[in-house]
Chains A and B, each alone.
Chain A
């Protein structure tokens, strides 16, 4: 199993450009998440999904959109990138359960917006 994969690994954008980050998981997990990590801030949740076709806002959703058309994929879109969106983006997935709701993380995407 590949686990959780993210593409691309690195990207540089100019202000106002758009892009989509792809997250894929092969563990048949129901839940998927997008986080951003900034220096000294820990991880903050952007959006999440509790199943195919569903999405919900997290702590910092502004400027981002997401889609979960297939269970194994979770897309994060930036319609008009801003320098404040320079960050490392992590995707995670989990199988919700009463005993072990462990989240598994992808390797991250480092995004720079100039």
Chain B
């Protein structure tokens, strides 16, 4: 099956710093999503981004489908950004479930 690798596995930032999280995948995809799991366990969808670039406030994401990677940018990080960020992909065969990476654990320190 498709492999999804996220890096780095752990990241510690000072409040106000910027960061880039990476997601590599091993096959073509027709669906890629970024999720944030907060410290209380709730999973929130951040972006649906099978290709191209999107921005939402301090967060933005870019997927280069031809090179099989996606990047999540966090600017001016805040303590509320802490948690685990997951990348999940769906293969290009249509109507197949998402496959999740193991996540990047982000800790933002005041």
Contacts and interface: CB of A to CB of B under 8 A. Distances in A.
Interface of A: 33, 35, 40-45, 48, 50, 58-59, 88, 90, 92, 96, 100-105, 107-108
A43 B48 contact: no
B41 A107 contact: yes
Interface string B24-37: 00000001010100
A45 B97 contact: yes
Across the A-B interface, give the 10 residue pairs with the lowest CB-CB distance, nearest first: A105-B43, A42-B102, A43-B100, A42-B100, A102-B45, A102-B48, A45-B97, A100-B48, A108-B41, A101-B31
Interface in B43-80: 43-45, 48
Interface string B66-103: 00000000000000000000101010000101111111
Contacts, number: 47
Contact of A44 (B42, B45, B100): B100
B98 to A, nearest CB: 6
Given A40-B102, A50-B95, A90-B43, 20 more contacts: A33-B97, A33-B98, A35-B100, A41-B102, A42-B102, A43-B100, A44-B100, A45-B99, A58-B97, A96-B95, A100-B48, A102-B45, A102-B48, A103-B45, A105-B35, A105-B42, A105-B43, A105-B45, A107-B41, A108-B42
Question: Interface range on chain B: under 10, 10 to 19, 20 to 34, or 35 or more?
Answer: 20 to 34
Contacts of A43: 86, 88, 100
9 contacts: A41-B102, A43-B100, A45-B98, A59-B99, A90-B43, A101-B48, A103-B98, A105-B42, A105-B43
A42 B101 contact: yes
Nearest to A98: B30
